[in-house]
Amino acid sequence: METVAITMAGFGNVGKAFARLVHHKHAEIMAAYGMNLKIIGISTRSHGSLNLKNGFDLATLSDFTGNFNEQNFPGGTSYRDTLEMISNSQADIFIENSPVNYENGQPAVSYITRALEKGMHAVTANKGPIVHAYAHLQELASQHGKKFLFESTVMDGAPVFSVVREALPVMHIEGFEGILNSCTNLILCRMESGESFEEAVYYAQSIGIAETDPSGDIDGWDAAVKVAALATVLLGYPSTPQDVQRQGIRSITQQDIHAARQAGKRWKLVCQAEKKEDQWLLSVSPKMIDSSSPYFSVDGTSSYILFRSDVLPGLGLLESNPSPDTTAYGMLADLLNIYRKAG
Ligand SMILES: NC(=O)c1ccc[n+]([C@@H]2O[C@H](COP(=O)([O-])OP(=O)(O)OC[C@H]3O[C@@H](n4cnc5c(N)ncnc54)[C@H](OP(=O)(O)O)[C@@H]3O)[C@@H](O)[C@H]2O)c1
C-alpha cells in the first residue's frame, strides 16, 4: 500500500469538492491502485494555512467551513501563508486551486514553483499558471523528475489535454473552435427565453455561475484565457489572454437574439484558433451560428470544443452541466494518472 500525501492551496468551491471526492473515492482508489490518499496540508487566503502530519479526517473535511488552525485541528502546525506552508510540507503532490490572475498568474505560479522545487508533483485547476508560466513550470517539473498537470483548467473535468496527449499520437492540430465559457452561454440561452441581459446576468449570479462582478465572463476574459491555454499547450504557441482578439457579449441585445431566432440561428460566444498565412489567429467573439454547427444545440452551462487536425478532420468533445465537482474530478484524474504511470 502506497501512501500519497496531498497538500492543497485553496479550499473554496473546487477545493471543498476535491476533498469530498477524495473521501468518496478513497476505498475504490485503495482497492484499484493500492494507494492511500491523505490530505496533510490546506492553505487559504483568510481561513488559515495548516499542515497536519497524520492527515485530515476526510469525513470531517468534507463539510468543514471553519478556519484551518491549531484550535480546530490539534497537533497541526499553522503557517503565515501558503508559501511557508508548502516550504514546510512533506507532501508528495500539490493541488492548486487559488483564484485565477489574468495579468500574471500569481501567486499560483510561485506556489507551483515552490512545490516542484520541494520535489512534489503539481496539479492545478487555475489557468493563470498555464498562460503565464507553462514552459518554466514544465521545465522545472522535468528537472525534478516530477509531473505538472492541469486538466481542469479548460472544460472542467472533460479530458481535453489528456486525450490529445495520451490518445492521439502524431496528430497535428490545425485549429479549434467551440464554446468554452459556461456563464455567457447560459446568459445567451436565458435571453432566448425572453429575459433581458440584466435579468439573465442576475440569474447566473443567483445560482453561483457568475461572480458578483461578472465582467471576467461577460467581457470574454475567461474564454480568452482558455483559448490562450489551449494554444500554449496544444498548438505550441505560447499566448496570454492579451494575445486573443476579444469581444464579449455586452453588445448583444434582445433584438439581436430575436432576429437570430427568426432566422433559425443562435448567438454563441465562439472561441477560435485558426491559421491565417502561417500565423495563429486566436479569437473570442459573439457569432450567429446556424443549425449546421456542431455546437448549435449546446445549451445552458455546457461547453464544447471541436479540434481540426491532419488525421481527424473534426473531433468534438461535449461537456454537459459542469460544476465544481466535475472540476475536482479533473484534478483527481490528473493525480491518479501521475501515479498510475509512475507505478
Ligand atoms: N468553480 C469551478 O467550477 C472551476 C472550474 C474550472 C476551474 N476553476 C478554477 O479553480 C480555481 C478555484 O476556483 P473556486 O471556484 O474554488 O474559487 P473560490 O471558491 O473563490 O475559492 C478560492 C480559494 O482560494 C483561496 N485563496 C484566495 N486567494 C488565495 C491566495 N492568494 N493564496 C492561497 N489561497 C487563496 C480562498 O481562500 P479564502 O476562502 O480564505 O478567501 C479560497 O479558499 C480557480 O483558479 C478557478 O479559475 C474553477
The sheet with strand 279-289 has its strands ordered as 245-246, 279-289, 266-276, 173-179, 303-309, 315-319
Task: Give the number of other Cβ atoms within 10 Å of residue 285's Cβ.
Answer: 17
Place of cell 497536519: 52
> What is the distance, to the nearest Å, from the Cα of residue 163 to the centroid of all Cα atoms in its chain?
15
Probe residue for ligand 1, chosen from 98, 124, 155, 331 as the CB with the greatest number of ligand atoms within 8 Å: 98
Give the C-alpha separation, 64 to 2, whole Å: 26
Residue of 226, 265, 275, 287 marked catalytic: 226
Residue 150 has pLDDT above 80, yes or no: yes
Residue 343 has pLDDT above 80, yes or no: no
Atom 28 of ligand 1: nearest residue by CA position: 45
Probe residue for ligand 1, chosen from 7, 8, 11, 13 as the CB with the greatest number of ligand atoms within 8 Å: 13
Probe residue for ligand 1, chosen from 20, 95, 97 as the CB with the greatest number of ligand atoms within 8 Å: 97
Whole-number Å distance, alpha carbon 331 to ligand 1 midpoint, is: 14
Atom 6 of ligand 1: nearest residue by CA position: 156
Whole-number Å distance, alpha carbon 280 to ligand 1 midpoint, is: 31
Residue 174: per-residue pLDDT: 96
Residue 132: what are its φ and ψ, rounded to 5°?
Answer: -110, -15
Please answer whether residues 125 and 14 qualify as being in contact, where contact means their C-beta atoms are separated by less than 8 angstroms.
Answer: yes
Tens of pLDDT, residue by residue over 249-264, are: 999 999 999 999 999 9
62: confidence class by pLDDT, cuts 50, 70, 90 = confident
Residue 312 has pLDDT above 80, yes or no: yes
Whole-number Å distance, alpha carbon 40 to ligand 1 midpoint, is: 19
Probe residue for ligand 1, chosen from 327, 329, 334 as the CB with the greatest number of ligand atoms within 8 Å: 327
Q: Which atom of ligand 1 is nearest to the CA of 153?
A: 7
Atom 34 of ligand 1: nearest residue by CA position: 44
Tens of pLDDT, residue by residue over 66-89, are: 999 999 999 999 999 999 999 999
27, 75, 149, 150 from 121: Cα distances, Å: 22, 26, 8, 11
Residue 226 annotated as catalytic: yes
Structural domains of the chain, with CATH: 2-157+324-342 (3.40.50.720), 169-319 (3.30.360.10)
341: confidence class by pLDDT, cuts 50, 70, 90 = low
Please answer whether residues 45 and 134 qualify as being in contact, where contact means their C-beta atoms are separated by less than 8 angstroms.
Answer: no
Mean pLDDT of 151-155: 97
Whole-number Å distance, alpha carbon 10 to ligand 1 midpoint, is: 5
Residue 209: per-residue pLDDT: 86
Tens of pLDDT, residue by residue over 85-143, are: 999 999 999 999 999 998 999 999 999 999 999 999 999 999 999 999 999 999 999 99
Q: Which atom of ligand 1 is nearest to the CA of 13?
A: 16
Q: Which residues contact 210 (CB under 8 A, 6 or more apart)?
A: 183, 187, 201, 204, 217, 218
pTM of the model: 0.95
Q: Which residues contact 155 (CB under 8 A, 6 or more apart)?
A: 180, 303, 305, 317, 319, 322
Q: Which atom of ligand 1 is nearest to the CA of 100?
A: 45
Q: Which atom of ligand 1 is nearest to the CA of 330?
A: 6
Share above pLDDT 90 across residues of the chain, in percent, rounded to a whole number:
94
The ligand 1 site (C-beta within 6 Å) comprises 9-15, 43-47, 82, 97-100, 107, 125-126, 152, 156, 324, 327
The chain-wide mean pLDDT, for the chain, equals 96
Residue 63: per-residue pLDDT: 87
Fill in the amino acid letter for 318: L
Tens of pLDDT, residue by residue over 160-209, are: 999 999 999 999 999 999 999 999 999 999 999 999 999 999 999 998 88
Whole-number Å distance, alpha carbon 207 to ligand 1 midpoint, is: 17
Whole-number Å distance, alpha carbon 222 to ligand 1 midpoint, is: 14
